Structure 1
Amino acid sequence: MYKISHHGAVDGVTGSCHRLTLDSGDAILIDCGMFQGAEGEAISEGLARGESPIDFDISRVRALVVTHCHIDHVGRIPYLMAAGFSGPIYATEATAQLLPLVLEDALKVGVTRDESLINNFLRLLDKQLIAVPFKEWFVPASIPALQLKFQRAGHILGSAYVECAVGEKLRGSKRVVFSGDLGAPYSPLLPAPKSPYRCDDLVIESTYGDKCHEGRRTRRQRLQKTIERCLKNRGTVLIPAFSIGRTQELLYEIEEIIHRATHKSTNDEQAALWESLDIIVDSPLAAEFTAHYRSLKRLWDAEARQRLRSGRHPLSFEQLTTIESHREHVQTVEYLANTGKPAIVIAASGMCAGGRMMNYLKALLPDKRTDVVFVGYQAQGTPGRDIQKYGPRGGYVYLDGEKTDIRAGVYTLSGYSAHADQKDLLNFIKRMRYRPKTVRIVHGDDEAKAALRSKIQRQFTDSQVVIP
Structure 2
Amino acid sequence: MSELSIEWPIHLTHLGGTWQVTGSCHLWHLNAQQTVMIDCGAFQGITQEDDLTPYVDVDSLAAVFITHAHLDHVGRLPQLLALGYRGPIYCTAATLALMQLVLGDSLQLAGIRDESALTAFNTLLARHVVLCEYGQTVDVLPSLSVTFEEAGHILGSSYLCFDIKSLHKRVVFSGDLGCRNSPLINDPTPLKRADLLVLESTYGDRSHGDRSQRTQQLESIIKRAVVDGGAILIPAFSIGRTQELLYEFEQIWHQHACSKDTDFPEIVIDSPMANKVTDIYQHHEALWDATSRSRQAHGRHPLDFSHAHPVDEHSLHLALVNRLKSTAEPVIVIAGSGMCTGGRIINYLDALIEDPRTDLLFVGYQAQGTLGEQIQRAATGDVVTINQQKRKVNAQVYSLTGYSAHADQDELLAFIGNAEFPVQAVRLVHGSAPAQHTLAEKIRQQFSIPVTTTVATEKP
Q: TM-score surpassing 0.5?
A: yes
Equivalent position of 1:70 in the other structure = 70
Residues 41-440 of structure 1 mapped to structure 2, 5 A cutoff: 41-42=47-48, 53-54=51-52, 56-59=54-57, 60-140=60-140, 143-168=141-166, 173-264=168-259, 271-274=261-264, 277-388=265-376, 390-392=377-379, 394-399=381-386, 403-440=390-427
In the TM superposition, residue 42 of structure 1 has moved relative to its aligned partner by 4.7
Moved more, 221-230 or 447-456: 447-456
Seen in structure 2, the aligned counterparts of structure 1 residues 425 and 87 have a Cα distance that, compared at 3 Å, is: same
Matches of 2:194 and 2:115, distance apart in 1:
45
- Does 2:447 align with 1:452? no
Asked if the contact 1:13/1:379 (under 8 Å) is kept, the reply is no
In the TM superposition, residue 289 of structure 1 has moved relative to its aligned partner by 1.6
Asked if the contact 1:457/1:465 (under 8 Å) is kept, the reply is no
Matches of 2:234 and 2:68, distance apart in 1:
23
Seen in structure 2, the aligned counterparts of structure 1 residues 394 and 11 have a Cα distance that, compared at 3 Å, is: farther
Matches of 2:429 and 2:409, distance apart in 1:
14
What SS does the corresponding residue of 1:31 show, helix, strand or coil? Answer: strand
- Does 2:436 align with 1:441? no
Aligned match of 1:33 in 41, 47, 51? Answer: 41
Matches of 1:15 and 1:401, distance apart in 2:
29
What SS does the corresponding residue of 2:228 show, helix, strand or coil? Answer: coil
In the TM superposition, residue 217 of structure 1 has moved relative to its aligned partner by 3.1
Seen in structure 2, the aligned counterparts of structure 1 residues 42 and 193 have a Cα distance that, compared at 3 Å, is: closer
Asked if the contact 1:240/1:357 (under 8 Å) is kept, the reply is yes
Moved more, 107-116 or 252-261: 107-116
Seen in structure 2, the aligned counterparts of structure 1 residues 378 and 86 have a Cα distance that, compared at 3 Å, is: farther
In the TM superposition, residue 353 of structure 1 has moved relative to its aligned partner by 2.2
CA offsets per residue over residues 301-354 of structure 1, 9 Å max, x none?
111111112221111111111001111111111112221111111122222222
CA offsets per residue over residues 196-230 of structure 1, 9 Å max, x none?
21101112122222222244431111111122222
Moved more, 56-65 or 188-197: 56-65
Matches of 2:195 and 2:405, distance apart in 1:
26
What SS does the corresponding residue of 2:411 show, helix, strand or coil? Answer: helix
Matches of 1:174 and 1:341, distance apart in 2:
61
What SS does the corresponding residue of 2:278 show, helix, strand or coil? Answer: helix
Identity of aligned residues (%): 44
Q: How many residues align structurally?
A: 445
Asked if the contact 2:25/2:41 (under 8 Å) is kept, the reply is yes
In the TM superposition, residue 82 of structure 1 has moved relative to its aligned partner by 1.8
- The answer for unaligned runs of 5 or more in structure 2 is 1-8, 456-460
- The answer for unaligned runs of 5 or more in structure 1 is 44-51
Which amino acid counterpart does residue 437 of structure 1 have in structure 2? Answer: Q
Seen in structure 2, the aligned counterparts of structure 1 residues 125 and 429 have a Cα distance that, compared at 3 Å, is: same
Which amino acid counterpart does residue 164 of structure 2 have in structure 1? Answer: V
What SS does the corresponding residue of 2:212 show, helix, strand or coil? Answer: helix
In the TM superposition, residue 246 of structure 1 has moved relative to its aligned partner by 1.1
Seen in structure 2, the aligned counterparts of structure 1 residues 380 and 90 have a Cα distance that, compared at 3 Å, is: farther
CA offsets per residue over residues 69-114 of structure 1, 9 Å max, x none?
1112112211222233222211112112222112111211233212
Matches of 1:399 and 1:173, distance apart in 2:
57
Matches of 1:135 and 1:163, distance apart in 2:
10
What SS does the corresponding residue of 1:30 show, helix, strand or coil? Answer: strand
Equivalent position of 1:13 in the other structure = 21
Moved more, 72-81 or 54-63: 54-63
TM-score w.r.t. length of structure 1: 0.89
Which amino acid counterpart does residue 220 of structure 1 have in structure 2? Answer: T
In the TM superposition, residue 402 of structure 1 has moved relative to its aligned partner by 5.0
Seen in structure 2, the aligned counterparts of structure 1 residues 83 and 394 have a Cα distance that, compared at 3 Å, is: farther
Equivalent position of 2:3 in the other structure = none
Seen in structure 2, the aligned counterparts of structure 1 residues 397 and 201 have a Cα distance that, compared at 3 Å, is: farther
TM-score w.r.t. length of structure 2: 0.91
Seen in structure 2, the aligned counterparts of structure 1 residues 207 and 232 have a Cα distance that, compared at 3 Å, is: farther
Aligned match of 1:2 in 10, 16, 28? Answer: 10
CA offsets per residue over residues 109-130 of structure 1, 9 Å max, x none?
2332122322221221121122
Asked if the contact 1:189/1:301 (under 8 Å) is kept, the reply is yes
What SS does the corresponding residue of 1:187 show, helix, strand or coil? Answer: coil
What SS does the corresponding residue of 1:453 show, helix, strand or coil? Answer: helix
Matches of 1:453 and 1:57, distance apart in 2:
28
Asked if the contact 2:429/2:453 (under 8 Å) is kept, the reply is no
- Structure with the higher helix share, 1 or 2: 1
